[in-house]
Amino acid sequence: MLKKITSVFSIFSLVFVSVFGAFSAQDLYAASLTAMSTTLTRESAATLSNYTVRFTTPTGVASGQTIILTFDNSTSVAGSLDHEDIDLTDDGVDVTLAAAPSGSTWGVVRTSATVITFTNGTTAVGAGSLIAIEIGTHATTGSTGVEQITNGSAGTTLLNISGTFGDTGVMGIPIISNDTVVVTALVQPSISFAISDNTIFFGNLRAAGACFAQGTDPGAVTCPTQSETEAFNLTAGTNAASGYIITVRGDTLTSGINTIDALGANTASSPGTEQFGIRANASGGAGTVTAPFTAAGYAWTATASTPVQLASSGTASATTTYSIRQLANISALTEAGTYTSNQTYVATATY
């Protein structure tokens, strides 16, 4: 009986050795990958995309062992894709890649249209390490990637991770017919324009000193405003890409057939000499005053039939305020009368 038991035990031992002896220590301790993810920049079918593959290897990757990525569902790895289009990090530390392994350098080979094989050099990856693999134009270590992976058809693409390092894992990647949502919105063109006061007054002009217009009617008071002040202001703004222009049209101060001479160029005030003109200051937005109305002097170059540009903005602009100052001087010989100037201001957006 003892001989029979011994014989059975011997046979069992032979079977155990013959069956399990073919497995290496690595095989016996291989495990499932954890913390797996695959992120694509595009998930449209048949579309070029960057791939970022992440996983934790419970076992690690010993010297000379391989990691193999295998795609299905008609995924296509470009024939010219090589190590320059791929980055690999081990726990966040970049690994040097080349066409073949050498020392601490890993080798990377596109084995087929659906397979990429990584071969470790001589630097082992420890158990529990996080491996991150970037494939595509976002791979920038050493050189910037050029080639990408072409997604398969709509459905679920499986990425199998295997190799002689022993750990394995499978990830599903959603591929859809169109991953882009087109959103439209409309912004209406707009322009704002306002004049703060439509009636301004000089009062009783005098030859002995300059007069400036104001918004309050002084009656027959002699030149109530003898220091420059704002007569009124214009405000303008637009979302038009090329901005706007503001023009003014109108005659100089006129009483019947008599006029007060308009200043044809920017000129300083000279009391005792007939002069009519305006100047403007700009604040806020992108608007600017146009010559000859920009300097410290005054000018009036418009007529009742010919508008001239007063201000403009060459781009879309928030509100600009234009402060308008108006000067009137007379000589001792200026004809008596009630003088008026009808000025028309127009803002035009440039789309």
Q: Which residues contact 184 (CB under 8 A, 6 or more apart)?
A: none
Q: Which residues contact 146 (CB under 8 A, 6 or more apart)?
A: 84, 85, 137
Query: Which residue is associated with the tokens 């990856």?
Result: 125
DSSP 147: -
Distance CA(35)–CA(57), nearest Å, equals 9
pLDDT for 7: 42
pLDDT for 10: 41
Euclidean distance between the first and the last CA atom of the chain, given in angstroms as a whole number: 108
Tokens, residue 327: 């000067």
CATH no. of 25-175: 2.60.40
Whole-model pTM?
0.63
Q: Which residues contact 60 (CB under 8 A, 6 or more apart)?
A: 124, 125, 126, 127, 128, 129, 165
- Judge whether 287 and 251 are in contact, CB under 8 Å: no
Amino acid at 349: A
Peptide bond preceding 292 in cis form (omega within 30 of 0): yes
Three-class SS of residue 122? coil
Q: What values do phi and psi take at 8, rounded to 5? A: -65, -45
Distance CA(164)–CA(27), nearest Å, equals 9
Beta pairing class for 232-238 and 191-195: antiparallel
Distance CA(289)–CA(310), nearest Å, equals 6
DSSP 276-324: EEEEEEEESSS-EEPTTSSSSSBB----SS--EEEEEESS-EEEEEEEE
CA angle (265 as vertex; 261, 269 as ends), nearest 5: 65
pLDDT for 219: 81
pLDDT for 217: 87
Query: Which residue is associated with the tokens 């491996």?
Result: 131
DSSP 10: H
- Domain spans of the chain? 25-175, 191-349
pLDDT for 297: 96
pLDDT tens, residue order, the chain (351 aa)? 434 334 433 433 433 333 334 444 444 456 999 999 999 999 999 999 999 999 999 999 999 999 999 999 999 999 999 999 999 999 999 999 999 999 999 999 999 999 999 999 999 999 999 999 999 999 999 999 999 999 999 999 999 999 999 999 999 999 999 999 999 999 999 999 999 999 999 999 999 999 999 998 888 888 878 889 999 999 999 999 999 999 999 999 999 999 999 999 999 999 999 999 999 999 999 999 999 999 999 999 999 999 999 999 999 999 999 999 999 999 999 999 999 999 999 999 999
Distance CA(122)–CA(244), nearest Å, equals 69
- How far CA 174 is from CA of 98, 210, 330, in Å, comes to 31, 81, 85
Alpha carbon 193 to its chain centroid, in Å, reads: 30
Three-class SS of residue 105? strand
- How far CA 40 is from CA of 139, 155, 182, 280, in Å, comes to 13, 15, 19, 58
